[in-house]
Structure 1
Amino acid sequence: MREKKKKRKWLRIAGIFFMLLIIGIGAYAFSVYKSLTNAVETMHQPIQHKSDKRPEQVTLTKKEPFSVLMLGVDERSGDKGRSDTMIVLTVNPKESSVKMLSIPRDTRTEIIGKGFEDKINHAYAFGNEEMSMATVENFLDIPLDYYVKVNMEGFKDIVDAVGGINVNSSIDFKQDGYNFVKGNNSLNGKEALAYVRMRKQDPNGDFGRQDRQRQIIQGVIKKGASVSSLTNFDDIFGALGKNVRTNLTFNEMKDIQKNYRDAGSNIEQMSLKGSGQTINKVWYLIVAQEEQQRVQNELKAHLELN
């Protein structure tokens, strides 16, 4: 009889413990969800942009390929800044792949809405996200469905929120008082910002800088998606809310996570080549028509555009 009572007692204790665990997990999940929705609400910034290169808006629930323009903007006090980082992502769920094209900031092209040619990164200074999207669309001859703008000054907060990142440098160099070695480097937020800003010491110039930009972005995504970052979710979402703006809605983000997540494991980096030329005492990167056409064709095929 006593043994039966002891069994019932331990069963009751185990049951209570299990219920408390479930309640705790539920409260934690709710806290994560609430923090995420608050961050997304802050990040959401709709814009007036309708592409004439796509007749109908892309439907994520139908798993259609889509594109994103990522803008890294140095926004400092009293200065709206320029988009020193411009990366186009095309996502194809059928191929389970992402193509990632960095556009050199000095690329000479027509600034749509201004009617003259200039460095492509000046489009943001002239007309914010809308003019940047229109200019890049014209240059690549593809529709851009979404944009994601990151304040590079505050990007260090995002890196710190995920607990720092690891990158693999191709050269030794110094920048902003920090030393970076060839090979693996563990970076905090300020170090990551210095790492991505260096350009003049790199024998590959802006192309080397583009590679470092990609490393930082991929490092944040990889670290942010890890289980160890769950304990920092509040800091991560807070940093994103302060420093990221996008026209993606919360429901669209959920659709992407649900229907396109396999594509994220297969990222192919593309490059855009050109030659330097000084025009009216200003240095530009001139992209030959054949090279421009090559990149356009590859992106159009990935977006399944005829």
Structure 2
Amino acid sequence: MKKEDKLGIPETRQHARKRKQKQIRNWIIGILAVVCAIAAGVGLYAAHLYKTAEQAANKAYDSENAVKTTYGEFNGKKPFAVMLLGTDTGALDRTEKRGNTDTIIVVVVNPKKKNYTMISIPRDTMADMVGDDSNDVQKINAAYSIGGAKMAMKTVSNLLNIPVKYYALVNMGGLMKLVDYVGGIYVTPPLTFTYSGFPFKKRVRQHLNGQAALAYSRMRYDDPQGDYGRQKRQREVITKLVQKLATADSLTNFSKIANNLSSNVKTNLSFQALKSILANYSDCTSSSDSDYLHGYSTYVNDAAYQIAPTSELQRISNKIRKLLGLKTATVSNRETELNTLNETAGFKFGSGETQNYTIYDPGTTADSVKSGKKSSKSSSKSSSQASSSSSSSTDYSGNTAYSGSTNYDTTYSYSYNYNYNINPFSGGY
């Protein structure tokens, strides 16, 4: 039966077709209105997120160490490197005293492999402090406390013969708050231990909140691998955190995350650079690789040091340069010079014996070392004499107090801990 209109007149086919067309049109207009309303809301929310991100990035930006980026530098096709420095000195409020950076990781992002590689440098690694014209050799974790980000970047660059333009200084304690904001992370501990009241069981996957994650990444004394084991766990925590931050779920706490980062991160990557990295390299966060600079344990007045053999410095240099698409180049610096002089004097990496590692005066030749003039002089010093000849004092935790200059003819006691030819800790987790 035909439908009748309000006047009781039967509806024709033409009228019915027009009525249906009108209903469809009204539905389409309604749907479009809802879509537009949602889009407007999302647009406003996106604008808010953008503004929040920009403010956070500008607050964390280190303009003193600004680097001019070249055109297309972060276009998603070229690899790039950032030096990650970690400290536990508290929130980076731009007024507090600089502390040592006990976490030093060179991160190389490779778009061709769609991954990033983290290479740790042990905090106790012997390194020439580049930038003060003194040929001063200290633990590498002191570079930031002595000369800021500029000296830290130059020191790492010189040690490994790699370009280091960008850095990010992170307060590890503050960074752990991010673990809470993303809902925690899962780890599978490589060993059983308890630290700061948090128990961890070997090979048992467990969920960590921020405090537990910080405890997991801090412990080193009960780890058979010492600081190398801690570096491994730190890289694991950072990797898991990056994976969680890269998910859409993190948007729910975006403001908290942004504010936390602005208070606990300092970087010379501008907001524009960070935008380009986020837009063009986001697919590189799903996969990662890791390695570390392997050294041999030494002691300076009962303080732990690491001496990296020239072959190891060259290996890490080759790896990073290859990841960056650069040709390999010979590492030649103060560290390799000291290694050569010590090996000339009879020092043998991996000998398994307790040896003396001598910090020779700049300009010392191999001939003078062979003659025994320098080596006999430095080797004859007692521990107390060595202590008085150096103006730096370091405790085992890495807290260092500096005053005056350092005598470069100081004898270091070497204690062998690891088999260098078998590197069980590099790569993976």
Q: Which has the larger radius of gyration?
A: 2
**Range that drifts further, 10-19 or 190-199:** 10-19
Instruction: Return the alpha-carbon distance in structure 2 between the equivalents of residues 248 and 7 of structure 1.
Output: 52
The corresponding residue for 2:102 is 84
CA gap of 1:57–1:12, structure 2 versus 1, over 3 A, is closer
**Range that drifts further, 212-221 or 22-31:** 22-31
The corresponding residue for 2:64 is 47
CA gap of 1:124–1:19, structure 2 versus 1, over 3 A, is same
1:198: how far off? 0.5
The corresponding residue for 1:255 is 276
Question: Quick one: percent identity of the two aligned structures?
Answer: 39
Instruction: Return the alpha-carbon distance in structure 2 between the equivalents of residues 148 and 226 of structure 1.
Output: 21
CA contact (8 A) 2:117 2:288 kept: yes
CA deviations over 1:210-265 (Å, ceiling 9, x no partner): 11111111111111111222111111111111111111111111222333334333
CA contact (8 A) 2:125 2:139 kept: yes
Which of 125, 140, 143 is equivalent to 1:120?
A: 140
The corresponding residue for 1:19 is 36
> What letter is aligned with 1:169?
P
CA contact (8 A) 1:90 1:299 kept: yes
CA deviations over 1:93-127 (Å, ceiling 9, x no partner): 34434221011111111111342211110111111
Instruction: Return the alpha-carbon distance in structure 1 between the equivalents of residues 53 and 245 of structure 2.
Output: 13
CA gap of 1:143–1:11, structure 2 versus 1, over 3 A, is closer
| Bigger relative CO (Cα 8 Å, ≥ 6 apart) | 1
1:268: how far off? 1.8
What SS does the corresponding residue of 1:105 show, helix, strand or coil? Answer: coil
Residue pairs, 1:144-293, within 5 angstroms: 144-182=164-202, 183-293=204-314
Instruction: Return the alpha-carbon distance in structure 1 between the equivalents of residues 145 and 231 of structure 2.
Output: 20
Instruction: Return the alpha-carbon distance in structure 2 between the equivalents of residues 58 and 107 of structure 1.
Output: 35
Instruction: Return the alpha-carbon distance in structure 1 between the equivalents of residues 23 and 222 of structure 2.
Output: 74
Q: Which runs of 5+ in 1 are unaligned?
A: none
Instruction: Return the alpha-carbon distance in structure 1 between the equivalents of residues 108 and 123 of structure 2.
Output: 19
Whether 2:117 is the aligned partner of 1:103: answer: no
1:25: how far off? 1.5
Instruction: Return the alpha-carbon distance in structure 2 between the equivalents of residues 227 and 48 of structure 1.
Output: 32
1:22: how far off? 1.6
What SS does the corresponding residue of 1:31 show, helix, strand or coil? Answer: helix
Instruction: Return the alpha-carbon distance in structure 2 between the equivalents of residues 151 and 57 of structure 1.
Output: 31
Give TM-score scaled by structure 2 length.
0.65
1:6: how far off? 6.1
Whether 2:144 is the aligned partner of 1:130: answer: no
What SS does the corresponding residue of 1:148 show, helix, strand or coil? Answer: strand
CA gap of 1:34–1:281, structure 2 versus 1, over 3 A, is same
User: What number of residue pairs does the alignment pair up?
Assistant: 302
**Range that drifts further, 102-111 or 85-94:** 85-94
CA contact (8 A) 1:90 1:303 kept: yes
CA contact (8 A) 1:58 1:66 kept: no
The corresponding residue for 1:72 is 86
Instruction: Return the alpha-carbon distance in structure 1 between the equivalents of residues 39 and 66 of structure 2.
Output: 45
Instruction: Return the alpha-carbon distance in structure 2 between the equivalents of residues 95 and 11 of structure 1.
Output: 45
Whether 2:53 is the aligned partner of 1:36: answer: yes
CA contact (8 A) 2:90 2:171 kept: no
Give TM-score scaled by structure 1 length.
0.89
CA gap of 1:50–1:39, structure 2 versus 1, over 3 A, is closer
CA contact (8 A) 1:47 1:130 kept: no
Instruction: Return the alpha-carbon distance in structure 2 between the equivalents of residues 106 and 234 of structure 1.
Output: 37
CA gap of 1:141–1:234, structure 2 versus 1, over 3 A, is same
Instruction: Return the alpha-carbon distance in structure 2 between the equivalents of residues 194 and 266 of structure 1.
Output: 25
What SS does the corresponding residue of 1:265 show, helix, strand or coil? Answer: coil
Instruction: Return the alpha-carbon distance in structure 2 between the equivalents of residues 229 and 304 of structure 1.
Output: 33
Instruction: Return the alpha-carbon distance in structure 2 between the equivalents of residues 66 and 42 of structure 1.
Output: 23
